[in-house]
Structure 1
């Protein structure tokens, strides 16, 4: 695997949640720095050393509501 993609969203309880696309990896963190470190740790736990992806792409999603 060359690349692994994560979707990061703000949690309703505060902080962030991240989930991998195509893999069963889910993690949380309070800050952007923490979520990035949590993603790295989760990927290292999920894959064997020789199977680690070369690149991890993170897509931040932010929902906003506008009223008229």
Structure 2
């Protein structure tokens, strides 16, 4: 696996929630720099060193509601 993709959303209570596509990895953090560190730690725990993806891709999803 060369890369892993995470969907990142803003958490209702603040911070961010990240969910991996194609792997059972979920993490959350209060800010972006903490999220980056948390994702690296989650990847290290989930994969063996030889199988670890070389790229972590973040796809930020933001929902916005406006009045019609």
Number of aligned residue pairs: 68
Whichever structure has more helix as a proportion of its residues is 1
Q: Report the secondary structure of 1:58's partner residue.
A: strand
CA RMSD of aligned residues (A): 0.7
TM-score where L is the length of structure 2: 0.95
| Uncovered stretches (5+) of structure 2, i.e. residues with no partner | none
| Uncovered stretches (5+) of structure 1, i.e. residues with no partner | none
TM-score where L is the length of structure 1: 0.95
Partner Cα distance (1:36, 1:8) in 2: 11
Q: Report the secondary structure of 1:24's partner residue.
A: coil
CA deviation string 1:24-68 (max 9, x = no partner) = 000000001111111111001000111110111000111111113
